Amino acid sequence: MTPDDEKFLRRAVAIASRAGASGERPFGSLLVGADGTVLIEDHNTVVSDSDITAHPELKLARWAARELAPDVAAGTTMFTSCQPCPMCATAIDQSGLGRVVYALSSEQFEEVRPAAPPPPPVRYEGPALFDEAREPIENYY
């Protein structure tokens, strides 16, 4: 981790602090281009948007996939106040971004955050209807 990495990581933590002080959940992220330019930053807006997916990492991954050419995205780093959750990590993996630098790990986050009950389990059922379900896939590819 370079001094510039630490500078941008501190900026992500500052964004998280401001978000928490304003009533949002305390998470912040930014994207930094290969030349050290801050491209975009955002914070968690799960509360104000009433959107369970409004994590800053997901919003920035979507922005990168939409707005950046693949070679630019590959040279772009996401700095984020906590290790991305599985939802965000999946989006980041699809976004073309080249690197993620985070402050708190998921394990450290769980140690710092007050204990919360786990969400109720979701029952997944399948596979089913193989012949019917494969048709749109085969027709597309």
How big is the CA angle at 33 (ends 30 and 35), to the nearest 5 degrees? 135
Integer angstrom CA distances of residue 23 from 14, 112, 117: 15, 18, 21
Q: Among residues 29 and 77, whose Cβ is nearest to Zn ion?
A: 29
The CA R_g of the chain, rounded to the nearest whole Å, is 18
For CA atoms 98, 40, 87, 20, the dihedral sign is: positive
- Stretch touching Zn ion by CB under 5 A, among 8-16, 55-63, 119-127, 131-139: 55-63
Which of 8, 55, 77, 102: binder of Zn ion (CB under 5 A)? 55
Neighbours of 95 (CB within 10 A): 23
Out of 6, 24, 41, 57, pick the active-site residue: 57
Which of 39, 65, 72, 85: binder of Zn ion (CB under 5 A)? 85
Q: Does 88 bind Zn ion (CB under 5 A)?
A: yes
Q: Does 72 bind Zn ion (CB under 5 A)?
A: no
Q: Is 57 a catalytic residue?
A: yes
**Smallest separation, CB 37 to Zn ion (Å):** 24
| Residues designated catalytic | 57
